[in-house]
Amino acid sequence: MEGSSRKLFLLSCLVVVGSSAQDFGQTQFICTSVPKDMDLCTATMQNSGPAEDLKTTVMQLRETVLQQKETIMNQKETIRELTSKLSRCESQSLPATGPGGRRPGSKNTMGDVSRGTTDTLAQLGQTLQTLKQRLENLEQYSRGNNTVQANSLKDLLQNKIDDMEKQVLSRVNTLEETKPGARNDTDQRNRVESTLTSLHHRITDLEKGKETRPTDKFQLTFPLRTNYMYAKAKRSLPEMYSFSVCLWIKSNASPGVGTPFSYAVPGQANELVLIEWGNNPMEILINDKVAKLPFLINDGKWHHLCITWTTRDGMWEAFQDGVMRGSGENLAPYHPIKPDGVLVLGQEQDSLGGGFDATQAYVGELANLNIWSKKLSIAEIYNLATCNSKAPAGNVFSWTESNIEIFGGATKWTFEPCRSHN
């Protein structure tokens, strides 16, 4: 080897170690030639530049990929959740033609019926808690951003809550029929109902925004036949020797819309009841005495109903949409409506404030229930049915939010009679 004519080279080896073996595999040695007369450290630093740049670039690319992967996973989770809920809604809307309440070969998207009721309800409750957290985030967003995006987010969340409500209530009802009297399951159910009620109250508050909604411009919705979804008046009715009761109602339930309201007193569960049960026509019960009413209402449209009664000779009159449809007498004559009772909306009472039967539950929408301790005139009833400004409010029970408590997932929405008509 001719040392005078050739430059001698040393091998300078750079050790490149990844941040972890998981990132780059095993340690690698990268060797390069260095002229004899060049400082070894300087050459090493010069040659290490591209390697360091490469390492930095790789790390940045890896971080970008991880971020994209996390985003994709979140999107997949959202899609999976929405798809699951859509499947559940579709499975509920299809008729059950096979054993177990499902179509043959259909997937049970609501979970295995054989699973423990506690586990199932706990899972549903956890899902509702997640929705509640999202609603809280939406509230914070809408306070600082009163925009179209905030409203669209609110609408999307409301739709998801509606779907979840139907799934939960249907599931709970099925489980209760399977295992009646299980105390732990009842406690779980009550917590789920409480969460549902809280969710809908929060949505109502969002709907109000900065505007002050009149306290009587609301409706109650009872989407399912259950024995636990209802509303209750905070005060009892007084003793009455005559009365008028009027309300707006909308339902297409069949057979029978159920029980719009019932008033029970100690010793008499059927003191005053409006009910359409099974294939029977709508009836008014006073002290367990019955009169059949000529109403036709289960067409899915809003209708205004009024019933008047007086203890003298038990005379009654029935009005639908401001027009008298029928009348009669001898309905519990000389029996005054007793005080100290419980007025319930959406359920028929077999005992004071309870004893509900799901088959008699009301399904549909209800609004503007007012009760007077007198017989209204035909003109007053017509004003009520046509939303005339002269229409009176009930002197015994008036339709205001402060007079009503809601239980079991019954929902409350903004409503104005006649404007919302049909």
| Full strand arrangement of the beta sheet holding 342-345 | 289-292, 283-286, 268-276, 258-265, 342-345, 230-233, 404-407
* 168 located within any domain: no
Residue 177 has which token pair? 């029929």
* 225 located within any domain: yes
Q: For residues 51-73, b (16+ Cβ closer than 10 Å) or e, as one string?
A: eeeebeeeeeeeeeeeeeeeeee
CA dihedral sign, ordered 146, 148, 150, 154: positive
Quote the pTM value. 0.57
Q: Which band of pLDDT confidence, cut at 50, 70 and 90, is reported for residue 413?
A: confident
Structural domain range at position 238: 218-414
Distance of alpha carbon 171 from alpha carbon 90, whole angstroms: 14
Residues in the chain: 422
- Other C-beta atoms within 10 Å of 144: how many? 8
Helix/strand/coil for 416:
coil
Q: What is the pLDDT of residues 59-115, one digit of tens each?
A: 766 666 666 666 666 666 666 665 565 555 444 444 443 333 333 333 333 333 334
Cβ contacts of 338 within 8 Å, gap of 6 or more:
239, 265, 268, 271
Distance of alpha carbon 356 from alpha carbon 346, whole angstroms: 10
3-state class percentages of the chain: helix first, strand second, coil last, to nearest 5: 40, 25, 35
Pick from 195, 190, 191, 182: nearest CA to 116: 182
* 358 located within any domain: yes
* 372 located within any domain: yes
* 166 located within any domain: no
Specify the CATH number for the domain of residue 267: 2.60.120.200
Distance of alpha carbon 234 from alpha carbon 253, whole angstroms: 28
Q: What is the pLDDT of residues 309-323, one digit of tens each?
A: 999 999 999 999 999
Residue 368 has pLDDT above 90, yes or no: yes
* 72 located within any domain: no
Q: What is the pLDDT of residues 330-341, one digit of tens each?
A: 999 999 999 999
* 64 located within any domain: no
Residue 21 has pLDDT above 50, yes or no: no
Total count of domains within the chain: 1
* 203 located within any domain: no
